[in-house]
Amino acid sequence: MSRQIGTWGEAAVAAYLRKRGYTLLAHSYHCRYGEIDLVASKGGTVCFVEVKLRRDVAHGLPREAVTRQKQEKLCKTALFYISAHELDCPIRFDVAEVYADEHGAPGRIEYIENAFEVTHDPVF
């Protein structure tokens, strides 16, 4: 899918989160370790959100694309974000599955809170 459609999916998830009381802190946050699609907060917890947009599940569920390697990269990026913003709060990693229609327009969103946990300190 094109980057434009991916950005559209991220915008759809951002709107979804705002409707549910989240505050959006960053969109497409980049640092030397990688990128995080969305950073949001709610109830004192900072959520690092990976957005996966798919037209179908022929090649697996969107969440399955968040591999162990991707999780480690997200963790390093999140820790850099926390350090850069001098945050001291709970965090979690969420995955937003966006199912697009045949034209690529975002449709149904499946939001998975705490989709994975960091089980070790990442190596920088």
- 10-residue mean pLDDT series, the chain (124 residues): 67 96 96 96 97 79 88 94 95 92 75 84 50
What is residue 105's predicted lDDT score, i.e. its pLDDT?
64
The answer to whether the CB of 116 falls within 8 A of the CB of 63 is no
Stated pTM of the model: 0.87
> Where in the chain are the domains?
3-116
CATH classification number, 3-116, choose in 3.30.200.20, 2.40.50.140, 3.40.1350.10, 3.10.180.10: 3.40.1350.10
Which phi and psi (to 5°) does residue 19 adopt? Answer: -65, -25
The answer to whether the CB of 25 falls within 8 A of the CB of 46 is yes
What is residue 58's predicted lDDT score, i.e. its pLDDT?
72
What whole-number distance in Å separates Cα of residue 93 and Cα of residue 47? 6
The answer to whether the CB of 118 falls within 8 A of the CB of 15 is no
